[in-house]
Amino acid sequence: MKSKVVKLCLRSVMFLVAISLLSGTFACLQAEEINWGKELKNWEGRELRIIMIADPWVDAFAVINPEFEKLTGARVTVDAYPYDGTHEKQIMVGAGRSTDYDVIVLDCPWVGEFAEVGYVEDLTPYMKASNPEVVAWDDYLEAYKTVATWKGEITGMPFGAYHVLFHYRKDLFGEAGFTPPKTLEEWKKIAAYFTNNPKYPGLYGTALNYFRGAPIGQAWFEYIWNVGGKPFESNYPGSPDPYADMTPKINSPEGREVVQLFIDMVKYGPPGVTSYAWDERATAFAMGKIATVSCWSARTPLFVDPARSEITDKFATAVVPPKKGVKSVPPLGGWVMGINKFGVQKDLAWDYIKWFTSIPIHKKFMKAKPVGGPPSRYSAMLDPELNKMFPWYKSIYESAKLTYEDCRPRIPESFEIIDTIGLYTSKAVGGELTAEKAMEEAEKKIKSVLATGGYYIRE
Amino acid sequence: MSKNARVIKYVFVLPAIIYLILLTIYPLIYSLKISVTTLNIARPYPPQYIGLSNFVELLKDSIFLTAMKNTFFLTVLSICAEFILGFIIARFFFMGANLKLKGVGLLRTIYMLPMMVTPLVFGLIWLYIFNPTLGVANYLLSLLGFPPISWFGSTNIALYSIVLINVWEWTPFMMLLCLAGLSTIPPELFEVARIDGAGWHQSIAFIELPLVRRVILIGLMIRIMDNFRLFDLVYVTTGGGPGSSTETLSMFTYRQSFMFFNVGYGAAASIIILILGIILAQILIKSVWGKEEYA
């Protein structure tokens, strides 16, 4: 007990020291007013078009962009679509050599795909020609820098890094005497306790991503690391080349364990949980229907918005729990801003990107109403003011230290691989196939996709 | 016919031919061309000619076969329900109009509303109605003492939910066609049947159905085509899931062509859909219209 208290105190002191050191390092950057008049050109009469995901923070762009419009004279238009639609339209922009969009906002698993086919610019020359204090590349976590880079080329500037955080109802946990679960086994017990408990009518334990396609496919990748598995032979944290040997390990005991986890957790979810995706889960948690939810940090601000949440001051966050005996690997995701290779306003696009991702504007992005963006820079993540406003930043920082940048493959075939795993996991959850058969079928399909792509696969 | 008259004849037909070439024949030939390649617009490698491999793969692809089975099931169930309900409702409207009841015209117009809404919009509306925890459907069931239903989340129910929405939207269309058919039947025939002592069911079986069958055939053909390309509703409500329980041929083709960008494979799938559609339409025409009449 005593050693636990000492450990806790030490961790808190270390966290505070880290905050003061790192925030001190970048304090000068934040305090210094960037002379935007010098950094940005006059783009009077031009229109900059951005294509991106309609995630919760999309409205923050409308709040911040007028400042850029005032500085440069350019008009900024944002076209936002749902997840699959964003990918589809962005590929069509590239395939059609379209000049319709200047800035293309990419999810990290798509980075390899867009870089390989040459639909986005390498940002390295742009960065080199810019003021390093504006770009502040070293202010990003190593993992974010890796996520934005493909074969030595920088495909986009990170601005919306996501971490999967464990969200729980601190009021209910306090009442029931629970602490945030340290293992998946503990989480299951807690979820079971809150489900159909007469003390908590209408409350359920949790809700996983079950909707077919990317939602459940991505969720499979969120858990594979946390049960001690890996999707491909050389794809694991610390691997020198995550894509060197792409022999699938989908149909492994761990892969099947993830599927079984999805099947087991259905009974702790609200009716119809098998049709839930990201939004439905966030809504269920915000409406007080579920006691816990493991979801992307980009949705956390929704839970403190009184207009959308009934649990504004009743929840807290923690690092996602792994299987007992396995080190937690909190999934990393998020968005980077790239320049359309075929665009005709590349300098304007770069001006916008460097402005939007700069330290002071990034901080404004976090604070924007109604829902701000997630922190992607050390300076934002460790900023005392932001930490006070958004208490979950501490969990983000803790997660960021444990994360793995290639936790979802970033190769051109990623979308198809994730969808395929999603399809077969969904089949197993629906009872069409057993967990074993589902992973066997998924592995067979994925092997064929990888073979077409020319990857090294051991027989 | 003079040479000038012949030239003028071709000039008048020319716009239609150009339209047909540009918007139908060229895309069809292009689809055929890419269906025998490995074209993927999101991959760095160039397409290769692979002959009929895409077609062979498709016929071995379990998801494609499931999509085909689901599409047939959805088509048959939807069309049967739409036709039966449409005919019954049309008959009510027909009788109401004959009896000169007030408000029949207004009611008929209101009844047509579902057909006028975009499938994407009503898909979203039904998504809310069928929301398992917040939707009206489960609330009404709970008032009757029934447990909540996972309308789109259960592999056993999801396809029926889609059929239900499909029927809700398109029954007015079948009703309209049946009503148009019924209106063309000379009233004397009903009069004679009544004098001869025919009951209402005999009147339906021997007068109404035979005389409106051509109109019904047109309706059935249109609805078969519609169901073969049913996409929006599935995309919005289930995305083809859970598992592949609501995967339709259109959804499969979309996934291959616009999510994975396996354009060659997707084109092959769409050609198979086209062939199936043509075969079905031919069977339907010949069986309902009769060989002699058709010829």
Alpha helices in B47-61 (DSSP H): 53-60
Tokens of residue A34, six digits: 């960037």
HEC string for A75-108: EEEEEEECHHHHHHHHHHHHHCCCCCCCEEEEEH
Tokens of residue A273, six digits: 């949980």
- pLDDT at position B6 is 84
Q: Report the gap between the CA of A379 and the closest CA in chain B (Å).
A: 36
Q: Report the gap between the CA of A230 and the closest CA in chain B (Å).
A: 23
Domains of chain A (ranges; CATH) run 24-162+332-402 (3.40.190.10), 164-325+409-452 (3.40.190.10)
DSSP state of B204: I
A274 to chain B, any CB pair closer than 8 A? The answer is yes
Inter-chain contact A412–B258, Cβ cutoff 8 Å? Answer: no
d(CA B278, CA A128): 60
Inter-chain contact B243–A423, Cβ cutoff 8 Å? Answer: yes
Vertex B253 angle, CA B251 and B257, to 5°: 120
Check if the beta carbon of residue A403 is closer than 8 Å to that of residue A394.
Answer: no
Q: Which residue in chain A has the smallest CA separation from B254?
A: A88
Check if the beta carbon of residue A334 is closer than 8 Å to that of residue A357.
Answer: no
Look over chain B and give the mean of its residue pLDDT values, rounded to a whole number. Answer: 90
Q: Residue B289 — pLDDT band, cuts 50, 70, 90?
A: low
ipTM associated with this complex: 0.83
Q: Which residue in chain B has the smallest CA separation from A431?
A: B155
Which amino acid is present at B159? L
Closest CA relative to residue B177, chosen from B93, B105, B104: B93
Q: Report the gap between the CA of A69 and the closest CA in chain B (Å).
A: 33
How many CB pairs lie under 8 A apart between chains A and B? 108
B47 to chain A, any CB pair closer than 8 A? The answer is no
d(CA A407, CA A229): 11
Sort out which chain A residues have CB atoms less than 8 A from B149's CB and list them. Answer: 271-272
Inter-chain contact B153–A213, Cβ cutoff 8 Å? Answer: no
Check if the beta carbon of residue B246 is closer than 8 Å to that of residue B238.
Answer: yes
Looking at the DSSP assignment, which residues form a beta bridge with residue A293?
A167
Sort out which chain B residues have CB atoms less than 8 A from A87's CB and list them. Answer: 259
Inter-chain contact B132–A271, Cβ cutoff 8 Å? Answer: yes
d(CA A105, CA A86): 9
Which amino acid is present at A425? T
Tokens of residue A7, six digits: 């450990």
Sort out which chain B residues have CB atoms less than 8 A from A210's CB and list them. Answer: 153, 242
Closest CA relative to residue A91, chosen from B136, B208, B104, B257: B257
Sort out which chain A residues have CB atoms less than 8 A from B132's CB and list them. Answer: 270-273, 275
Judge whether residue B144 has pLDDT over 50: yes
Interface-testing mutation among A204, A259, A275, with chain B (most B C-beta atoms within 10 A): A275
d(CA B260, CA B276): 24
DSSP state of A168: E
A226 to chain B, any CB pair closer than 8 A? The answer is no
Minimum-distance CB partner of B244 among A88, A273, A423: A423
Closest CA relative to residue A251, chosen from A406, A441, A431, A432: A441
Q: Report the gap between the CA of B258 and the closest CA in chain A (Å).
A: 6
Check if the beta carbon of residue A109 is closer than 8 Å to that of residue A408.
Answer: yes
d(CA A376, CA B101): 69
Provide the 3-class DSSP secondary structure of residue A34. Answer: coil
Which amino acid is present at B21? I
DSSP state of A291: S
d(CA A340, CA A121): 6
DSSP state of B259: I
Minimum-distance CB partner of A274 among B133, B150, B240: B150
B172 to chain A, any CB pair closer than 8 A? The answer is no
Provide the 3-class DSSP secondary structure of residue A121. Answer: coil
Inter-chain contact A274–B43, Cβ cutoff 8 Å? Answer: no
d(CA B189, CA B195): 10
Minimum-distance CB partner of A117 among B43, B147, B154: B43
Q: Report the gap between the CA of A239 and the closest CA in chain B (Å).
A: 25
B131 to chain A, any CB pair closer than 8 A? The answer is yes
Interface-testing mutation among A91, A120, A195, A274, with chain B (most B C-beta atoms within 10 A): A274
Judge whether residue B27 has pLDDT over 60: yes
- pLDDT at position A7 is 55
Inter-chain contact B148–A271, Cβ cutoff 8 Å? Answer: yes
* CA-to-CA separations, A369 to A95, A179, A337, A366, in angstroms, rounded: 36, 32, 21, 9
d(CA B242, CA B127): 15
Q: Report the gap between the CA of B82 and the closest CA in chain A (Å).
A: 27
DSSP state of A33: P
Peptide bond into A374 cis (omega under 30): no
B positions 84-103 inside 8 Å of A (CB): none
Contacts of A12 (CB under 8 A, 6+ apart): none
- pLDDT at position A32 is 53
Inter-chain contact B240–A274, Cβ cutoff 8 Å? Answer: no
Residue-wise pLDDT for B92-109, tens only, equals 999 898 888 888 888 888
d(CA A250, CA A234): 13
Percent of chain B residues past pLDDT 70, beyond the cut: 97
Provide DSSP, A312-364: TTSEEEEEPP--TTS-----EEEEEEEEBTT-S-HHHHHHHHHHHHSHHHHHH
Average of pLDDT values for B256-262?
93
Domains of chain B (ranges; CATH) run 61-294 (1.10.3720.10)
Q: Report the gap between the CA of A116 and the closest CA in chain B (Å).
A: 6
- pLDDT at position A4 is 53
- pLDDT at position A153 is 96
- pLDDT at position B134 is 81
d(CA A133, CA B86): 70
Tokens of residue A47, six digits: 């229109």
Looking at the DSSP assignment, which residues form a beta bridge with residue A290?
A204
d(CA A132, CA A127): 7
Inter-chain contact B148–A210, Cβ cutoff 8 Å? Answer: no
Inter-chain contact A213–B154, Cβ cutoff 8 Å? Answer: no
- Count of H-run helices and E-run strands, chain B: 16, 0
* B278 against A364, higher pLDDT: A364
- pLDDT at position B201 is 86
B146 to chain A, any CB pair closer than 8 A? The answer is no
Judge whether residue B199 has pLDDT over 90: no
Pairing of strands A47-53, A75-81: parallel
Inter-chain contact A274–B154, Cβ cutoff 8 Å? Answer: yes
Sort out which chain B residues have CB atoms less than 8 A from A270's CB and list them. Answer: 132-133
Q: Which residue in chain A has the smallest CA separation from B151?
A: A272
Check if the beta carbon of residue A100 is closer than 8 Å to that of residue A49.
Answer: yes
Check if the beta carbon of residue A78 is closer than 8 Å to that of residue A50.
Answer: yes
d(CA A178, CA A275): 29
Average of pLDDT values for B150-179?
94
Neighbours of B103 (CB within 10 A): 9
Q: Report the gap between the CA of B73 and the closest CA in chain A (Å).
A: 18
Taking only Cα atoms into account, the Rg of chain A, rounded to an integer number of angstroms, comes to 22
d(CA B174, CA B179): 8
> A253-265 and A414-429 are packed helices; what angle lies between their axes, rounded to 10 degrees?
60
* A403 against B286, higher pLDDT: A403
pLDDT tens, per residue, chain A with 459 residues: 445 555 555 555 454 445 444 444 444 444 457 999 999 999 999 999 999 999 999 999 999 999 999 999 999 999 999 998 999 999 999 999 999 999 999 999 999 999 999 999 999 999 999 999 999 999 998 999 999 999 999 999 999 999 999 999 999 999 999 999 999 999 999 999 999 999 999 999 999 999 998 999 999 999 999 999 999 999 999 999 999 999 999 999 999 999 999 999 999 999 999 999 999 999 999 999 999 999 999 999 999 999 999 999 999 999 999 999 999 999 999 999 999 999 999 999 999 999 999 999 999 999 998 899 999 999 999 999 999 999 999 999 999 999 999 999 999 999 999 999 999 999 999 999 999 999 999 999 999 999 989 999 997
Tokens of residue A133, six digits: 């204090």
Contacts of B105 (CB under 8 A, 6+ apart): none
Interface-testing mutation among B120, B259, B262, with chain A (most A C-beta atoms within 10 A): B259
B positions 196-255 inside 8 Å of A (CB): 238-245, 255
Minimum-distance CB partner of B153 among A272, A432, A433: A272
d(CA A51, CA A340): 10
- pLDDT at position B291 is 54
Closest CA relative to residue A352, chosen from A140, A116, A67: A67
Tokens of residue A20, six digits: 């003061």
Contacts of A27 (CB under 8 A, 6+ apart): none
Q: Report the gap between the CA of A337 and the closest CA in chain B (Å).
A: 19
Q: Report the gap between the CA of B251 and the closest CA in chain A (Å).
A: 12
